[in-house]
Structure 1
Amino acid sequence: MSDNPGFPARRAALKMLDAVLRRGETLEQAGGAANGLPHVADRALAHAIAGEVLRWLVDLDRLIDGATRQPLPPDAKPRAVLRLMLAQWLRLGTPPHAVIATALPLLDGGPRRLAHGVFSTLTKRGAALPEAPTLPSEVAARWNERARPIAAALGEPPPLDLTLRDGGTTADWARRLGGVSLAPGHVRLPRGARVEELPGFAEGAWWVQDIAAAIPARLLGPGEAEGRQRSVLDLAAAPGGKTLQLAAAGWDVTALDVSARRMERLSANLARTGLSAEMLVEDALAWEPDRHYDAILLDAPCTATGTCRRHPDVLHRIGPRQIEQMADIQRRLLERASGWLLPGGRLVYAVCSLERAEGEAVAATATLRPDPVGPGELPAGLAPTPAGHLRTDPGMLAEAGGMDGFFAARWMR
């Protein structure tokens, strides 16, 4: 097996899938299985294989079940290997002979012959995947009428979105980077670009941030008002895209997060962009501020199901238990943060989740005065909900490459 140059990447992909589907790890956590591969290309291939399996898992299993006399158990190793074999052939364009040579060594004896036979049957049939991935039934039930347009947007990983430090340079950066802009201060590029090698990275002219993730901070407006710099508390701030936005908009920013490791990334981005913020490593459920703030941005911990385009693992490891756990934390954070506002201050609550239990249901518990989002505050093609909230999903702006799923609500004291 060591003489097979493609084998290590496939073995790493198999380990990653096992970590996600059996142990409930995130794909990012499971990625450690690929870190020991010596070549960047092999690490990227392992991630690509695992990601495509998770994106198309229901449809891959349907093909496998249609080519076996008796259904394979969900956790059977031959099924796992067949999933990654089919993903390579049908999604990554790997020739069947190369798939067989690099994946079958993952199995021994009878299971190897079984996998070889099923894969050969499917290739001879000219098996194909549907136009869009099929969502797991429990996920489709939760998302209800939104499920179909969301699924239609999940067939491909998302493009690369950048938020600019200076929104007045949007046209110039779109031209220099060869991208398109969907809103002032935003540039979108095709996926696959090496971020660190793009113009403007070293001088901190921009940072990576999905266009949906950039909207909540915009809902607080500029930091300068009535001749003074206003204060803002960015709760659950790391990895820091919203902190950078607020600092660039002129706010006096206090960024708080419980994770010291994630705050190191924010510190590095502040240094790269030349922006500044006070950083606190604290648990917002236990921390007590020594002052009140003109504004608070609560980008609360959540299930992150809205990021399913880039993190398809959430389709398979998030269920009612995780959703309710996160919603409980969000309600408690919103209640605490509401007491830290100055009179006339604004609070924006946001989650990158597609679950109404984490968005609308949590917002309904707020005790502050609603401050509805207006149509003019959103990128072209988006509109507030009838309640004046923001609700995006991956099926929106589909002709331009889509966006993450987000919910945001705003109130005043």
Structure 2
Amino acid sequence: MQDAPGFPARRAALKLLDAVLRRGETIEQSEKSALQGVDANADRALARAIAGETLRWLTDLDLLIDSATKKRLPDDAKPRTALRLMLAQALRLDTPPHAVIATCLPLLSGGPRRLAHGVFSTLMKREVTLPDAPTMPDAVLVRWGAMATAVAPGLIDPPEVDLALKDPAESDERAVAMGGVSLASGHVRLPRGTPIEKMPGYVEGAWWVQDLAAQIPARLLGAGEGAGASRRALDLCAAPGGKTLGLAAAGWNVTALDISGKRLEMLRDNLKRTALEAEVVKANALTYHPAKQFDAILLDAPCTATGTCRRHPDVLHRIGPRQIGEMTEIQQSLIHQAVEWLPSGAMFVYAVCSLETEEGDDQARWIDETFDLEPVPVTAEELPAGISPTREGWVRTHPGMLKEQGGLDGFFIARWRKA
């Protein structure tokens, strides 16, 4: 029997949600399997949007469901999952209730359709609404404390598109031509929806996609031109390559190292498109032996990526103490290696796209206590307008910052010089 129109997208969204909440997978990891049989690009995009909005507002959707049931449905009960998807469509994607019922109740084939139909209809009759900003899961509230309240307004909508420009002098001109805004030299922010490959300047390699916060680590190393030649920089864990491109555009002689061959192909493609140069090395950073010294090392370390929660809301529900502990160990091993390679006078920048204290502040204090490195505090003049360094001279960004301009990814960044 042929599926009703719209049903495959909802079935795929259910599979995506199940993969995240039950198996702890990322949406990207589960897409290949979950989207199998969903052929139309629009339907695939719809499945991702339904799953993303459900995860973004999950705590609030559950509170609504619980308000309309006499006995609380188990977290992993299929009717609860179906109701989450139904409410996300009605309250966030403006899908008419009759269309929600027609496309989502078949998800409960052989199950308690009447229960789901009744709960959904009750909530629609009550004309329920969601709060002004998503409510964070309890575990996140415990870990982030007051910062969770500041982050929440930045999670209301998926992020817009940030571009890093090859030539910073073109910032204002390109922003006007592309219908966007420039929040810093070398940056343009555009509304969501335009295919990347069709944006002006893509073919000629005038820019690459990179969140404004993610552009900061490379900027903190300054220009690469030295006395008579470009200085050498090592971009550790470089793929997919935005920081390598930023360093190369700033005049550095860059070596980009990463263990993932597939992700390095993306870097090579962007280097070719932008006509920028870098030495690309596929290797494990923990066993790599560089044949030369570097004037600067940038380590954008593997992390829990909780700072990307506005674009990847699954991190709010699948990251916990175990993953944080595993990442902090990996980060410290990579920091040890990077510091070993630093000659006297060389600069070291550590960065993570995480909002966890263990991966940011705690690691910076550990570096201060462990190595013969001199902190180089970041100044306000080095940062985009509206972003200020901490009192320690570190950088902490999060999605609630620059909210009126569209927010930022969450990053922790700190800088040192080898004595």
- Larger deviation, residues 250-259 vs 34-43: 34-43
CA distance in 1 between counterparts of 2:342 and 2:167 reads 28
The equivalent of 2:393 in structure 1 is 388
Name the SS for the 2:112 alignment partner.
helix
User: What CA deviation, in whole Å up to 9, does each residue of 1:210-237 have, x standing for no partner?
Assistant: 0000000000001102232100000000
Task: List aligned pairs for 1:183-202, cutoff 5 A.
Answer: 183-202=184-203
- Larger deviation, residues 103-112 vs 275-284: 103-112
Does 1:29 pair with 2:34? no
Task: List aligned pairs for 1:79-228, cutoff 5 A.
Answer: 79-228=80-229
The equivalent of 1:402 in structure 2 is 407
CA distance in 2 between counterparts of 1:328 and 1:216 reads 21
CA distance in 2 between counterparts of 1:35 and 1:146 reads 38
The equivalent of 1:291 in structure 2 is 292
Task: List aligned pairs for 1:340-351, cutoff 5 A.
Answer: 340-351=341-352
The equivalent of 1:246 in structure 2 is 247
Unaligned runs of 5+ in 1: none
Q: CA deviation at 1:3?
A: 4.2
Aligned residues of 2:259 and 2:284 also touching (Cα < 8 A): yes
User: What CA deviation, in whole Å up to 9, does each residue of 1:167-221 have, x standing for no partner?
Assistant: 1111111111111001000000111221111100111100110000000000000
The equivalent of 1:16 in structure 2 is 16
Does 1:273 pair with 2:274? yes
CA distance in 2 between counterparts of 1:334 and 1:110 reads 52
Q: Runs in 1 of length 4+ with deviation above 2 angstroms?
A: none
Q: CA deviation at 1:409?
A: 0.5
Question: When the two structures are superposed, what TM-score results if normalisation uses the length of structure 2?
Answer: 0.97
The equivalent of 1:378 in structure 2 is 383
CA distance in 1 between counterparts of 2:408 and 2:37 reads 32
What residue identity is the alignment partner of 2:326?
Q
The equivalent of 2:309 in structure 1 is 308
CA distance in 2 between counterparts of 1:201 and 1:254 reads 24
Q: CA deviation at 1:108?
A: 2.4
What residue identity is the alignment partner of 1:13?
A
CA distance in 2 between counterparts of 1:109 and 1:248 reads 59
CA distance in 1 between counterparts of 2:265 and 2:277 reads 14
User: What CA deviation, in whole Å up to 9, does each residue of 1:212-265 have, x standing for no partner?
Assistant: 000000000011022321000000000000000011111110000011111111
Q: CA deviation at 1:19?
A: 0.5
Q: CA deviation at 1:36?
A: 3.7
Unaligned runs of 5+ in 2: none
Name the SS for the 1:266 alignment partner.
helix
Aligned residues of 2:294 and 2:342 also touching (Cα < 8 A): yes
Name the SS for the 2:359 alignment partner.
coil
Aligned residues of 1:243 and 1:253 also touching (Cα < 8 A): yes
% identical equivalent positions:
64
CA distance in 2 between counterparts of 1:375 and 1:130 reads 34
Name the SS for the 2:214 alignment partner.
coil
Aligned residues of 1:291 and 1:340 also touching (Cα < 8 A): no
- Larger deviation, residues 385-394 vs 25-34: 25-34
Q: Does the C-alpha gap of structure 1 residues 218 and 35 become closer, same or farther in structure 2, counting only changes over 3 Å? A: farther
Output the aligned Cα RMSD.
1.0
User: What CA deviation, in whole Å up to 9, does each residue of 1:296-337 have, x standing for no partner?
Assistant: 000000000000000000000000110111011111111110
User: What CA deviation, in whole Å up to 9, does each residue of 1:335-391 have, x standing for no partner?
Assistant: 110111222110100000001100111111221111111111000111111111011
What residue identity is the alignment partner of 1:289?
P
CA distance in 2 between counterparts of 1:11 and 1:2 reads 14
Q: Number of paired residues?
A: 413
Aligned residues of 2:308 and 2:410 also touching (Cα < 8 A): yes
Name the SS for the 1:380 alignment partner.
coil
Name the SS for the 2:415 alignment partner.
strand
Name the SS for the 2:325 alignment partner.
helix
Name the SS for the 1:37 alignment partner.
coil
The equivalent of 2:72 in structure 1 is 71
Name the SS for the 1:404 alignment partner.
coil
- Larger deviation, residues 257-266 vs 25-34: 25-34
- Larger deviation, residues 383-392 vs 105-114: 105-114
Aligned residues of 1:35 and 1:43 also touching (Cα < 8 A): no
CA distance in 2 between counterparts of 1:3 and 1:336 reads 54
- Larger deviation, residues 104-113 vs 385-394: 104-113
What residue identity is the alignment partner of 2:99?
A
